[in-house]
Structure 1
Amino acid sequence: MRNIFLLLIILTALRFDISAQKIEKISMIWETRYDIIDFGAEQNRIQASLRIPFQIDIAGAFNINGLTSTGSSFQSRWETLKDLKKKEENRKFNLNLRQFYLEKKIDDFRVQFGALPAIKGSVSSTGLGSNGWMDGLRLDQKTGIGTFEVAAGSINEINNPNFFDRVFVANFFEFEFTGTFIPNSIIEFSYEKLLFVDYLRGEYRYDLIKGNKTHLEFAVEGLYNTQKESMSFGFTVTTAPLAFFDEDLAKYMDLKVYFNHTDNNIGLRGILTDDFYKFGNSVTIEAKGTITPRKAVGWFFESYISDIPRFLVGLRFDIE
C-alpha cells in the first residue's frame, strides 16, 4: 500500500511544473503537561508532544497533506520527558509521519487517498481519535441536508505510528451521514466495520444559545458493538463561559464537561477514541484557552473523576 501510494504521489507530482508547487500551510504545535494518575500511585510524570501538520499545493490541482508527530500509539501523541516515580531513566522522543495523503476537492465533493486522518472533520467523544490514522480511501459529498462519507482501508498496528513501517490490512469500512437540516443541531449516524466486528454510532448536538461567539451546546452520543451487544455512551456540555460577559473574551476559555460509560467488552473500536480513559463510569472536566491575544500561547487542564482519578495541566505553543 505505502509503496503504491508513494509511487502515485511521485508520478502525479512530476506531471506538474515544479515551480508551481508550493507549501500552502505548515505549523508547529508544542505542548507540555504535568500528568498524575491515582494521586501518583499509578503515574506521576511530565510529558510533551510535537506536531507538524503541513499542506503542499500541487499547481492548484490537488494537495498533499501530512502530519509528523510524537507519540507511540494510535491514541496518543505524548512522550514522557520525566517519570517522577523513577530517579534515572533514558527516554525516547521520536517523530513519526502518521498521516500522508493526497486530497482533491471538486466543489462539494472531496476525495482523500493515503495515510488519512481517522476522522473527516470535527472530533467526537465516541469517534476515532484525532491522533490516529486510516490507511486507505475516503470520499465525502456535501448536500443540502448534510454530508455523506464512505471510507475504507486499514487501521492496523495501533502501536506503530510510522506510515513507512505499518503493514496494510484491509480491515476497516465506514459509512457516515452528518445532518445539519435541523436549526442549531448536528445529527450524525454511522456504520463501521473493524476487524470483522460491526459497530453503530449515533450523535446529536444541540446549541441552546447560538450567538456569534457565545454557545451552550449539549450532546448525547453512543457506540454500539452489535456482536457483543455492548456500548460506550456519553453526555457532554460545552461552552465558552467568558463570552457571556464579553464576546472578545471567548478565546480565553473553552469548557467541556463529559460523562462516559464504556462496557468492558466494547472491543478495539471502543478504545480508539480521544476521550477514552477507563472502562466503567467517568466524568471529565476539560478547560483550555489562549494566553496571548494572537493564540500563540495557550493553556489546558483536564480532570478525570472515576475509580482511578487523573489530573493534568499544561501549556501549548503554536508557531506558523
Structure 2
Amino acid sequence: MQFNSTWSVNGFVVTGDSFGSSHNTIDDGKADDVYLRRVYLRHESDYGKTEIGVIPTYKGRVSSSGLSKDGWIKGARHVRSLGNDKLEIVVGQLSSLDPANALHSPEKLDYLEIEYSANINESWSYEISGERMTKANFVRTELRYAMFDKSAVFAELVSRVDNSKVKTVIGLDGEFTLQDYPIEYFAHYSYVSSNFGLRAELTEDFLGTGHGFSAELSGDIRDSKFAWFVRYDTVNSKNRILTGISWSL
C-alpha cells in the first residue's frame, strides 16, 4: 500500500512450510499452508531506503549465495546511497524459521549484516559483506561482469570464519527475446562444504552439500499482474523441478 511518494506498507503471502520454500510439493500434505510471511514499513527517498518490521532478506536483486527470497528477518534495514555505491546495514532476528511464527514479535537480536556494493566501471561491479547469523560469522563476496545489455556472469563466495568452510557459486543471468516476448534466465553451478551449517540450508537453491546446478526461466504474463517460472535443481543425484505463477498487486 503506497501512502505517498516516499512511504509504503508492504506484505508477502506465500505457500510452503519452510523458510526457503514458496512452493507446494505435489501430494505432500505438509506444504499446503498459506502464510503471511512479511509485513513492513518502507521509506524511500534520494538517500536510499529504510525498512522496519518483518522485512525481506534482500535489498534488491537476490544473490545466489544470499538468503532465500521467500524468507524473512524481524528487524530493520537501512540502505544508504553513496553516489553510485550503496551501504546496507540490517539488524534483527533470524532464528524463528517457522512460517507460522513469522509475524510473532522478535525475542532477541541474532542477525547482523553490513554490506557494501560498488560499481568498478560500466561492466564490473562487486559486493562485500560481513554477516552474523545462525550463531556463526561469515564473509561474503560477489563479483559481476555485464557482458551485454541485459546479461551478466558472476562469481560468489561465502566463507564461514570459524571453520573455513565455504559456499561458492559461478553463474550467469539475463534476458532474451523470443518473438518479441522477453524471458529472463538464470543458471549457476555451486559447491557447499559439508558442515557449512544452517546458513546454507536457508538459501532457496539448497538441496544438500556438495556440487550442484540450478537453471530457471521466467517471464511476465502479458496484460496481467501475473508472472510464471520454471526451475530445475540438482545436487549429488537429488533432482527437483519447480514451476509456478506469482501475482503482484
TM (normalized to structure 1)? 0.70
Which residue does 1:193 correspond to in 2? Answer: 132
Q: Trace 1:40-119 onto structure 2 (pairs within 5 A).
A: 57=3, 62-83=7-28, 93-119=32-58
Distance change >3 Å, CA 110–CA 270, structure 1 → 2: same
Deviations 1:76-134 (A, max 9, x none): 12233524xxxxxx566322221111222242232211111111111010011111111
The answer to whether the 8 A contact 2:17-2:30 is kept is no
Name the SS for the 2:64 alignment partner. Answer: coil
Give the superposition deviation at 1:237.
Answer: 1.6
Specify the code of the residue in structure 1 equivalent to 2:96: E
Higher-RCO chain (CA-CA 8 Å, sequence separation at least 6): 1
Contact in 1 for aligned 2:96/2:102 (Cα 8 Å): no
The higher radius of gyration belongs to: 1
Could you tell me how far 1:193 is from its partner in structure 2? 0.6
Instruction: Kindly state the Cα deviation for residue 186 of structure 1 after the two structures are TM-superposed.
Output: 2.5
CA contact (8 A) 1:255 1:287 kept: yes
* Structure 2 partner of 1:176: 115
Partners of 1:126 and 1:63 in 2: CA distance: 28
Whole-Å Cα distance in 2 between the matches of residues 116 and 176 of structure 1?
16
**SS where residue 206 of structure 1 aligns?**
strand
Q: Output the CA distance in 2 between the equivalents of 1:182 and 1:63.
A: 33
- Return the offset for 1:177: 0.7
> Could you tell me which residue of structure 1 aligns to residue 204 of structure 2?
274
How many residue pairs get aligned? The number is 249
- Aligned pair 1:236/2:236, yes or no? no
Gaps of 5+ in 1: 1-22, 25-56, 84-89
Deviation at 1:190, TM superposition (A): 0.5
Preserved CA contact (<8 Å) 1:224 1:231:
yes
Percentage of pairs with the same residue? 22
Asked whether the 8 Å contact 2:50–2:78 carries over to 1, the reply is yes
- The residue number in structure 2 matching 1:259 is 189
CA drift at 1:241: 3.8
Task: Determine the C-alpha separation between the residues in 2 that align with 1:109 and 1:129.
Answer: 23
Cα distance in 2 for partners of 1:300, 1:138 equals: 28
Letter aligned with residue 94 of structure 1: D
The Cα RMSD (Å) is 2.4
1:304 aligned onto 2:243: no
Report the AA paired with residue 105 of structure 1: E
How far, CA to CA, are the matches of 2:134 and 2:57 in structure 1? 16
Matched with 1:285 is: 215
Greater percentage in strand: 2
State the one-letter code of the partner of 1:242: T
CA distance in 2, matches of 1:302, 1:222: 22
- Tell me what 2:70 maps to: 131
Query: What TM-score do you get using the length of structure 2 for normalisation?
Result: 0.88
Q: Give the C-alpha shift of residue 313 in structure 1.
A: 5.0
Query: What whole-Å deviation, never above 9, does each CA across 1:49-81 have from its counterpart, x for those lacking one?
Result: xxxxxxxx2x66622222122222211122335
Query: Do the aligned residues in 1 keep the contact of 2:118 with 2:126 (CA within 8 Å)?
Result: yes
